């Protein structure tokens, strides 16, 4: 653990000792009876105990709601706090449980288990999407399914748990799902960003970038299929298909990355 990480962990522990100064739930709007019932149902399903329902409710309030209501009340500060706690818990679990791994390996695993993809997937498992409080514009644009918003809400929830009941409870909550994700990485069952992996491979091996080409798309607008191939150092891989261009590119990148890795083993 470097000096910056040590200071971060020290600050979190100091916050835990003085958490009463930071909750300030009395200045937060209390959820109405129907909302409180929904929050209580969530707590029961998620196996979490919570003293302050206004604080819990705050963790689901996206900044778009405060933008539209000219209020400063949203979950961004909780998200900031939760991000630090998440990082500290993940680092502690990796340090304590993977004594044979180098710092580089630990950092790589940590970057995966605290990533937006992982956090948003966990948020969906906990059904945080149904609890989000969004502005009208964000609601209409599909904000409940956006990975960034879901991941941010997950971090805000961690921050709220910490303020409500301290570092140990936040640690226990985070470790429940992070431990599973660490195992997935070790067993190579985790989500992998093949476009990034392929780009890093190409830069390392050939000093070039992969070149994606959209070949065609077919089907009605609500159910299209995109066909993409990728060229790497003169060799073409694909085509691969997907419901949009981005997903088709990911599939093409996976084909290329796996083939090139096998070739260079």
pLDDT band at 13 (very low <50, low <70, confident <90, very high): low
Same domain, 209 and 178: no
> Using one digit for the tens of pLDDT, what is the confidence trace for 25-60?
447 888 999 999 999 999 999 999 999 999 999 999
pLDDT in the model for residue 28: 81
pLDDT band at 23 (very low <50, low <70, confident <90, very high): very low
- Which of 167, 168, 63, 181 is closest to 119 using CA atoms? 181
In this predicted structure, the answer to whether residue 152 has a pLDDT above a threshold of 50 is yes
Catalytic residue among 155, 229, 249, 251, which? 155
pLDDT in the model for residue 20: 40
CATH of the domain at 222: 3.30.160.20
pLDDT in the model for residue 261: 81
Alpha-carbon distance 119 to 178, whole Å?
A: 9
Among candidate residues 186, 217, 232, the one where a domain is terminated? 186
pLDDT in the model for residue 93: 95
Q: Which residue has the higher pLDDT, 194 or 88?
A: 88
| Neighbouring residues of 213: CB distance < 8 A, sequence distance ≥ 6 | 228, 229, 230, 231
Work out the mean pLDDT of the chain and round it to a whole number.
86
Same domain, 45 and 153: yes
Q: Which residue has the higher pLDDT, 75 or 244?
A: 75
Same domain, 127 and 258: no
Same domain, 149 and 39: yes
Same domain, 149 and 210: no
In this predicted structure, the answer to whether residue 19 has a pLDDT above a threshold of 70 is no
The domain tally of the chain equals 2
Alpha-carbon distance 6 to 12, whole Å?
A: 10
Q: Which residues constitute the domain of residue 247?
A: 194-263
Same domain, 205 and 249: yes
pTM beyond 0.85: no
> Hey, which residues does 218 pair with through a beta bridge?
225
Q: Which residue has the higher pLDDT, 12 or 249?
A: 249
Is residue 251 among the annotated active site residues? no
pLDDT in the model for residue 197: 79
CATH of the domain at 104: 1.10.1520.10
Among candidate residues 186, 202, 220, the one where a domain is terminated? 186
Same domain, 7 and 112: yes
In this predicted structure, the answer to whether residue 3 has a pLDDT above a threshold of 70 is no
Same domain, 199 and 100: no
Q: Which two tokens stand for residue 110?
A: 């940590």
CA distances from 151 to 39, 83, 120, 146, 204 (A): 18, 10, 4, 9, 31
In this predicted structure, the answer to whether residue 84 has a pLDDT above a threshold of 70 is yes
Among candidate residues 186, 207, 238, the one where a domain is terminated? 186
Same domain, 158 and 237: no
**Max mean pLDDT range (157-161, 180-184, 250-254):** 157-161
pLDDT in the model for residue 67: 78
Cβ 122 vs Cβ 50: under 8 Å: no
pLDDT in the model for residue 24: 44
Same domain, 44 and 75: yes
Same domain, 12 and 38: yes
Same domain, 151 and 253: no
Is residue 193 among the annotated active site residues? no
């Amino acid at each position: 653990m470097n000096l910056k990480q040590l200071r971060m962990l020290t600050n979190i522990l100091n916050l835990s000792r003085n958490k009463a100064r930071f909750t300030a739930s009395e200045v937060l709007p209390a959820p109405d009876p129907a909302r409180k019932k929904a929050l209580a149902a969530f707590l029961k399903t998620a196996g979490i105990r919570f003293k302050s329902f206004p604080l819990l409710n705050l963790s689901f309030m996206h900044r778009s709601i405060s933008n539209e209501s000219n209020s400063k009340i949203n979950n961004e500060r909780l998200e900031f706090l939760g991000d630090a706690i998440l990082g500290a818990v993940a680092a502690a679990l990796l340090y304590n449980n993977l004594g044979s791994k180098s710092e580089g390996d630990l950092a790589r695993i940590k970057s995966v288990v605290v990533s937006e993809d992982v956090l948003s997937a966990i948020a969906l498992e906990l059904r945080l999407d149904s609890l989000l409080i969004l502005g009208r514009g964000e609601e209409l644009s599909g904000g409940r399914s956006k990975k960034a918003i879901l991941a941010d809400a997950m971090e805000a929830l961690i921050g709220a748990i910490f303020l409500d009941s301290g570092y140990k409870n936040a640690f226990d909550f985070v470790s429940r799902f992070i431990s599973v994700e660490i195992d997935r990485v070790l067993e190579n069952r985790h989500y992998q960003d093949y476009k990034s992996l392929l780009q890093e491979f190409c830069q390392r091996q050939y000093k070039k970038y992969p070149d994606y080409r959209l070949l065609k798309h077919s089907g009605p607008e609500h159910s299209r299929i995109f066909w993409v191939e990728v060229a790497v150092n003169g060799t073409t891989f694909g085509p691969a298909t997907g419901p949009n261009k981005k997903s088709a590119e990911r599939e093409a990148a996976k084909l290329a990355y796996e083939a090139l890795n096998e070739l260079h083993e």
